[in-house]
Chain A
Amino acid sequence: MFYRETGQFKTSYAADQQIFPIRQDRIGIVLLLAFAFLALPLFASNYWFNAILIPFLIFALAALGLNILTGYAGQLSLGSAAFMAVGAYAAYNFQVRVDGMPVLLSFILAGMTAAGVGILFGLPSLRIKGFYLAVATLAAQFFIVWCLTKFPYLSNNSSSGVISVPNVEILGFKFDTPQSRYLLVLTIVSVLALLAKNMVRSTTGRAWMAVRDMDVAAEVIGIRLMRTKLLAFAVSSFYCGVAGALYAFCYLGSVEPDGFSLDLSFKILFMIIVGGVGSILGSFLGAAFILLLPIFLDIALPALSELLGLPFGSATVSHIQLMIFGALIMFFLIVEPHGLARLWQIGKEKLRLWPFPH
């Protein structure tokens, strides 16, 4: 009824190629952005900024990075947390070692450093694929975290590799309140998400998808495999690297190498499975879901235990959390392998016909 494209004619190529071809979608996204940029900073509390909104955006960015690699280019990676670590430590080093380095520039350089490391660890993808590659990316995960712990230079000689980042300051404006940091993260994530959306609609993205669907066939129709795969690794690592830099600078303030463990990599992988493999929107939905679920369970499980009269210890709660996590992953893969993004799409299709489905 409200969501119908009747009467919206595309009269130019530009109109045909817009990101949101339907007017209602355009209005929707403007409203959403307005809500995120204007309404939330006014009304949300510090807890919301620090515990939910900022980590949500950062994880969504990392998931976006992994989604480019796994969802679009079809190369499964279990090392995304390591590339976040590269980003975080690179940004820190650029900040500490170069006088007067602008923060945003150091974020970009951090992303590029991560991209370089990503290309290095993406090289095996030219020879191996599938499970072999997934295991090979674990090499990146363990090696990078080990390096950050063992080379004191990388953490400016702090003990056991812990770094405390300086405050973020851009053109004299100090980002010291949660609100301002939220707005900074939101701006960066919005810009990068827009870029990603356009990238996957372009020649590059189509080449990625061709490689994902069948790399031999892609090579036969003239796609250069090496370039395409390495580009996917580079872009994906760039996103993860920037996410890592934001993770250190705008979320935690001080990080250690062990914080970027295999668990974090799995968490990011779960985000794209639940959200939707091969979908930009899915990265955001998945990040929100995986982030909110433990918070929800933390509240729900003790309440449930009181209701049932069973005393749950904190260990029990964490075990049940693990079980629910695992079960949900299997559930999503069985019932809806394309994730929440697909559900959203189905909902939209239904809405187009509503209330007269025939």
Chain B
Amino acid sequence: MQFFFEVLIGGLLSGVMYSLVALGFVLIFKASGVFNFAQGAMVFFAALSLVGFMEHGAPLWLAFILAFVVMTLFGIATEKFVLRKMVNQPPIALFMATIGLSFFIDGFAPLLWGNEVRALDIGLVDEPIPWILDNWNMVISKFDLFAAGLALALVALLALFFQYTRIGRALRAVADDHQAALSIGIPLQHIWALVWAVAGFVALVAGMLWGSRNGVQFALTFTALKALPVLILGGFTSVPGAIVGGLIIGASEKLAEIYIPPVMAGWFGGNFGGIEGWFPYVMALLFLLVRPEGLFGEKHIDRV
């Protein structure tokens, strides 16, 4: 039972990391209706920029700011050269364009910053917290806990930003209805550039955490694939959905990885590890059959 809880908590904490990536998707989708497949590539790009600036001697806080500037510029460029030219195209075409964008970044980022795997030290160690280890005999990583705290803080910050600032209100207006927002004088294109910058910021935080844990490398782009089932579970348009979805996916994925392969091996014989790759997807898929709009998604009514 203790082992079960240990796996569960480990899963929940890694689920927070998935939520962090999923959050970037949700932000852009809410504001512009674009399903940004390049979010994973942006995580990679942001982490590489951070490490790159640190290698040139910048301290962490400065590198963080510089990397944020890079991501903002990148967001503005994306808006100007890709999205603005694709207004009035179907959403699926925009989605495919972001697949192209992710390929572009996959090539561009290492070209700019170099190809090798690099360690990123943000002053946190991935070791169990002694107090919990002593009292409950469970291994809970300090790093994971910090990452989870940071993610929650980020979400709270974003929620406040969306709720109480002028720009946040404009963002929500744009998400609700482009035309109505335009007609009351909200500059649509500025808002889009802004939301890409915010998504870049989220990508930067995610990249920093993932990167310092697993090293800054190309595999960071696959965080997007981890975040997709979170999205369909939580609904594309809901920030709380991304968080809850991430927790569910993270926990069930880790539990499944521990408990399902032995059962399958009992049935068929052989080694059935590595179900993490598809289990979240199949779970999200089954969930969709029951609730097609996701956990917190908006119910969609079609009219002819």
Contact = CB atoms under 8 A, between A and B. Distances in A.
Interface of A: 76, 123-124, 127-128, 130-132, 134-136, 138-139, 142-143, 146, 149-152, 214-217, 220, 262, 266, 269-270, 273, 315-316, 318-330, 333-334, 337
A139 B281 contact: yes
Contacts of A316: 111
B95 A134 contact: yes
Contact of A216 (B96, B106, B302): B302
B288 A320 contact: no
Contacts of B272: 150
A330 B104 contact: yes
In the complex, the 9 A-B pairs of residues with the closest C-beta atoms, listed nearest first: A329-B100, A322-B107, A326-B104, A326-B103, A323-B107, A139-B281, A142-B278, A143-B278, A319-B107
B231 A322 contact: no
Interface stretch (B67-75, B82-90, B128-136, B208-216): B82-90
Interface residues of B, number: 49
Contact of A132 (B85, B89, B232): B232
A220 B107 contact: no
A315 B109 CA distance: 12
Contacts of A319: 107-108, 110-111, 115
B143 interface: no
11 contacts: A128-B288, A136-B288, A138-B228, A143-B281, A146-B274, A150-B270, A266-B99, A325-B104, A326-B103, A330-B101, A333-B97
B279 to A, nearest CB: 9
Contact of B289 (A127, A152, A315, A326): A127
Nearest to B303: A216
Given A124-B285, A142-B278, A143-B278, A131 B236 contact: yes
Contacts of B302: 215-216
A319 B96 CA distance: 20
Interface in B108-150: 108, 110-111, 115
Nearest to A131: B35
Contacts of A328: 100
Nearest to B269: A152
A270 B104 CA distance: 13
A63 to B, nearest CB: 14
B96 A323 contact: no
Given A142-B278, A316-B111, A334-B82, A130 B101 contact: no
Nearest to A153: B268
B111 A323 contact: yes
Given A76-B92, A320-B111, 6 more contacts: A146-B274, A217-B304, A266-B103, A319-B107, A326-B104, A334-B82
A139 B282 contact: yes
Interface in B273-304: 274-275, 277-278, 281-282, 284-285, 288-289, 292, 294, 302-304
Contacts of A124: 285, 288-289
Contacts of B229: 135
B281 A136 contact: yes
B42 to A, nearest CB: 13
Contact of B99 (A138, A142, A269): A269
A264 B55 CA distance: 35
B103 A322 contact: yes
Interface string B24-66: 0000000000010000000000000000000000000000000
